[in-house]
């Protein structure tokens, strides 16, 4: 294989769920498919990091305009700003949005507390979350971290840090399987998990 093909295969195989064989199949296929596809893919990928970035309010994916990135959820004036849903990753936010029953806004932590991996409370954006609760007059924080050991530990940490602010803390109901990923929960299960949330 030409070094150029090998380089592209190596890059593509760094994507999640893409092994070397699949990457090779992609490259060879792109070489024979319509030329516009690889050109368009290339230009979109090249611009990706210039045009999209984390929303400066919630961490969701947002389009960058005039040096600022504010996502569609944060821009949506019909959202209830008193309800804030805390998730670990953007994937989880997307899964909850797909269920369509969340009327509030979000806060993406970016990671979970994980003593085993050496991730402590100081590594989480707790202060920024607290500021947001205060600034926006949030009355309920829904903790939608996954039902795993790290997800539960993070929920307890949030309760300890945020409860003194006088905000109601709720946790999404199980229904999402223990250790499971919110990303893979179907919209109905996710809707039920949200509707059946309990005090934390």
Contact residues: Zn ion, CB under 5 A: 55, 57-58, 60, 71, 74
| Least Cβ distance, residue 60 to Zn ion (angstroms) | 4
Nearest Cα residue to 28 out of 46, 64, 4: 4
- 186 Cβ neighbours under 8 A, 6+ residues apart: none
| Least Cβ distance, residue 155 to Zn ion (angstroms) | 21
| Least Cβ distance, residue 123 to Zn ion (angstroms) | 21
Nearer to Zn ion by Cβ, of 8 and 90: the residue is 90
| Least Cβ distance, residue 55 to Zn ion (angstroms) | 3
Nearer to Zn ion by Cβ, of 105 and 192: the residue is 105
| Least Cβ distance, residue 159 to Zn ion (angstroms) | 23
Nearer to Zn ion by Cβ, of 24 and 81: the residue is 81
Q: 90: phi > 0 → left, psi -120 to 50 → alpha, else beta; which? A: alpha
Tell me phi and psi for residue 84, to 5 degrees. Answer: -125, 125
- 83 Cβ neighbours under 8 A, 6+ residues apart: 102, 103, 104, 105, 138, 139, 140, 142
Distance between start and end Cα atoms, the chain: 57
Nearer to Zn ion by Cβ, of 117 and 131: the residue is 131
Instruction: Estimate the crossing angle of helix 3-12 against helix 20-32, to 10 degrees.
Output: 120
Nearer to Zn ion by Cβ, of 40 and 51: the residue is 51
């Amino acid at each position: 294989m030409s070094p150029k093909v090998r380089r592209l295969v190596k890059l593509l195989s760094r994507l999640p769920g893409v092994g070397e064989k699949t990457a090779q199949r992609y490259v060879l296929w792109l070489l024979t498919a319509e030329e516009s596809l690889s050109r368009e893919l290339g230009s979109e990928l090249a611009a990706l990091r210039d045009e999209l970035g984390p929303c400066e309010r919630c961490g969701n994916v947002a389009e960058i305009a005039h040096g600022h990135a504010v996502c569609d959820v944060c821009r949506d004036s019909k959202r209830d700003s008193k309800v804030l849903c805390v998730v670990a990753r953007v994937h989880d936010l997307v899964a909850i949005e797909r269920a369509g029953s969340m009327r509030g806004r979000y806060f993406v932590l970016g990671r979970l507390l994980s003593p085993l991996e050496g991730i402590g409370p100081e590594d989480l954006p707790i202060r920024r979350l607290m500021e947001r609760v205060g600034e926006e007059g949030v009355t309920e924080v829904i903790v939608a971290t996954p039902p795993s050991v790290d997800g539960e530990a993070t929920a307890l940490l949030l309760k300890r840090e945020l409860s003194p602010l006088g905000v109601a803390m709720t946790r999404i109901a199980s229904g999402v399987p223990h250790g499971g990923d919110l990303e893979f929960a179907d919209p109905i299960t996710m809707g039920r998990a949200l509707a059946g949330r309990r005090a934390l």
